[in-house]
Chain A
Amino acid sequence: MSARPKTPRPPKSAAPCKDEDIALAFYRQMVLIRRFEERAARGYAEAKIGGYCHLNLGEEATVVGLMAALQPDDYVYASYRDHGYALARGISPERVMAELYGRTDGVSKGWGGSMHLFDVDARLMGGYGIVGGQVPLATGAALAVAHRGGAEAVLCQMGDGTTNIGAFHESLNLASLWDLPIVFVVSNNGLGMGTTVEGSSAEPDLFKRASAYRMASERVDGNDPVAVHAAALRALTHARSGKPFLLETVTERLKGHSVVDPAGYRTREQKAQLLAGDALSAYAARLTERAILTDDATREIDEAAMAAVDASVRFADASAHPATSTLFDYTYATAVPNDSRRLPGQPLFPAAARPGETMSEKAPA
């Protein structure tokens, strides 16, 4: 599998780059994700986007810090809340938006939708709609890397609620037992859909769960991209030495669980508080204070993000809907004798001649 993202990602700390440049690059990506997600919500309201649509609003710092710590060859497995991860991994907003629109130019050719973004070149190995489904898979990818003695690591992102799925525990045990190069990341946004961490996890300090598997772990402020980046680099170094790691990033989900959720379980005050404490604004203020970000730069970055998002919408809108004739193209990877390729209502065999009559028609496969 080749592994070059199509768009450059922010410089890594190893690169000869000033802290200010990195900080600014993080900010740029956070703004892009923010604007993209806001536009996705609008696209949903306009019925351009269907299905379930979960946004990274409020979690941009975690997303950007994590993705920046990866090497191009590393593998990423994510939950259904995956738009930001795809963007920060360097996939073009056009192809992500086209997937949300269900079009042929989408990253998954319109077969996945919002929850199932996949890009083989970026080694984004999928967003997964089944809570926890990605965790054993990512563990297996790490097994393959270890098996071949590769230098890559696997990053497996999931939500806080996912740590209560059996597969999470089975996978942490396997990864630790088998010394796999994997970082399990719990993006703790405090909520499942509406259930709190305290209401669902008997040990709400989620990073401590690693200790049951003699696995190293750490909790980091998920609203600070620089802190997340540094922690992710530590975790990945650990993983590359053959020891898995559990990293908990504590963040907030600004809006509902998905775009259709009005978040009625939050009070008006809580909602106001969330917006006031928004990580993106806080990060902008920090950068302004340190004179890294000027008013002009803020405006320029925002305009560039808006332009990229607008372009992604135009691209998605112009991309073709997949043709019905392609319906049977992806059931199996290889040609299959006797594969059933029938549309609803089609008979198994064409109207048969009676015994003795001759028929010109042939049975479909």
Chain B
Amino acid sequence: MTVISYRQALHDALREEMQRDADVLLIGEEIGRFEGSYKITAGMLEEFGPRRVRDTPIAEEGFTGAAIGAAMVGLRPVVEIMTINFSLLAIDQIVNHAAKIYGMFGGQARVPLVIRTPGGGGQQLGATHSQNIELYYAFVPGMKVVAPSTPADAKALMLAAIRDDDPVLVLENLALYNTTGEVPDVVEPAEIGRAAVVRTGSDITVIGYSRMAVIAREAAEVLAREGIDVEVIDLRSLRPLDRVTIVTSVKKTSCAVVLEDDWLTYGIGAEIAATISDGAFDWLDAPVRRVAMAEVPMPYAKSLEMAALPSLADAIGAIRATLDARARRA
């Protein structure tokens, strides 16, 4: 075990796969000479050269599409889209092409493509640069979307994504890049499509992913000091969604809170709540509550941005409110 950062874990996964498989190549804006906007690809150009670390023009649709085409004929490109906000310029190639090619042509061509891109607000980047729109891709059959919250998962899920024969979007998070955690010396690729119960508990289930899975663990620790025993599920994969793990947990705890960094209405949390309603309705002792971002274009001003983003206090408040609702019912 070594303690490394989330950034380092991503970097290590990319580097190991580049060393292991000559068909893996990196494509994106400013990933080579500039070493990546968030430095995940630092040193890669020097080590692997410009043929395998391709700096591109500012042309998200063009280079994402080119990576899909290269994947169709057997390469395993890893595309960096600087932040998930800019993936909107490539959404036609992702949704209409990467996710469709396998099915639309009757299984004749695979698209072993990875799109790495960070979401996350909280950096005063304003409305166009602070969105969490992973839902747009998690909505689409044919896509896989994974969202690690720890360095160990960042590495294991990145390895899995690169070795996967389907298009995978790896959601990174600006707020997590500098966080640290233990990573085993040898990491096996994760199985995409499985959530993890990262803390067992008996009083309430709290479900999160990416930054909000970290908040979920923090909330559990705070509440443990008061004797409240929280079970925490880190989704890790948004599509496929591990509904069984969620429902199994809620059948045990009888109530649940979902934490998400995207907008409330139609968000990932709505899907989780529907899953619980369908799979554990008779076990529920309180309504499922969702803690999500305020439904506004993200403001620049720090005070407003802080108000819009879901916080640890918001999470703890929702958990308490849910436990109160259960107590009133009992």
B63 — which chain A residues lie within 8 A by C-beta? Answer: 136, 170, 174
Given A138-B69, A336-B193: A348 and B278 within 8 A (CB)?
yes
Q: Is B15 located at the chain interface by the 8 A CB criterion?
A: no
**In the complex, which range does the number of interface residues on chain B fall in?**
35 or more
B70 — which chain A residues lie within 8 A by C-beta? Answer: 140-141, 143-144, 147
Q: Is B150 located at the chain interface by the 8 A CB criterion?
A: no
Chain A residue nearest to B240 in the complex (CB): A338
Q: Is B96 located at the chain interface by the 8 A CB criterion?
A: yes
Asked if B106 and A348 make an inter-chain contact with CB atoms under 8 angstroms apart, the answer reads no
Q: Is A344 located at the chain interface by the 8 A CB criterion?
A: no
Asked if B69 and A137 make an inter-chain contact with CB atoms under 8 angstroms apart, the answer reads yes
The proximity string for B residues 64-84 relative to A, scoring 1 for CB distances below 8 Å and 0 otherwise, is 111111111111010000000
A178 — which chain B residues lie within 8 A by C-beta? Answer: 54
Chain B residue nearest to A156 in the complex (CB): B69
Chain A residues bordering chain B, tally (CB within 8 A):
58
Asked if A167 and B97 make an inter-chain contact with CB atoms under 8 angstroms apart, the answer reads no
Give chain B interface residues in 80-114, CB to chain A under 8 Å. Answer: 92-93, 96-97, 101-111
Chief secondary structure at chain A's binding surface: loop
Asked if A118 and B96 make an inter-chain contact with CB atoms under 8 angstroms apart, the answer reads no
Q: Is B164 located at the chain interface by the 8 A CB criterion?
A: yes
Asked if B102 and A140 make an inter-chain contact with CB atoms under 8 angstroms apart, the answer reads no
A77 and B75 CA atoms in complex are apart in Å by 17
Q: Is B165 located at the chain interface by the 8 A CB criterion?
A: yes
Partner pick for A126 among B25, B59, B75, B105, CB 8 A cutoff: B105
Asked if B110 and A136 make an inter-chain contact with CB atoms under 8 angstroms apart, the answer reads no
What's the least CB distance linking B216 to chain A, in Å? 20
Q: Which of A106-114, A222-230, A264-272 contacts B (4 or more CB under 8 A)?
A: A106-114
Count of A-B contacts judged by CB separation below 8 Å: 190
Give chain B interface residues in 148-178, CB to chain A under 8 Å. Answer: 164-166
Given A108-B105, A348-B279: A173 and B97 within 8 A (CB)?
no
What's the least CB distance linking A346 to chain B, in Å? 10
Chain A residue nearest to B99 in the complex (CB): A331
Asked if A144 and B74 make an inter-chain contact with CB atoms under 8 angstroms apart, the answer reads yes
A330 and B107 CA atoms in complex are apart in Å by 6
B166 — which chain A residues lie within 8 A by C-beta? Answer: 332-334, 336
A355 and B17 CA atoms in complex are apart in Å by 47
Asked if A118 and B240 make an inter-chain contact with CB atoms under 8 angstroms apart, the answer reads no
Asked if A126 and B101 make an inter-chain contact with CB atoms under 8 angstroms apart, the answer reads yes
Q: Is A207 located at the chain interface by the 8 A CB criterion?
A: no
Given A136-B69, A139-B69: A108 and B106 within 8 A (CB)?
yes
19 residue pairs from A and B, CB less than 8 Å apart: A109-B106, A116-B105, A118-B106, A118-B109, A125-B109, A133-B92, A133-B97, A135-B65, A139-B69, A142-B69, A143-B66, A167-B62, A167-B92, A330-B107, A333-B110, A333-B111, A338-B243, A348-B278, A352-B282
Given contacts A170-B61, A331-B141, 12 further A-B pairs with CB under 8 A are: A77-B69, A108-B108, A109-B106, A111-B105, A126-B109, A141-B69, A329-B107, A332-B142, A336-B166, A336-B193, A338-B240, A363-B279
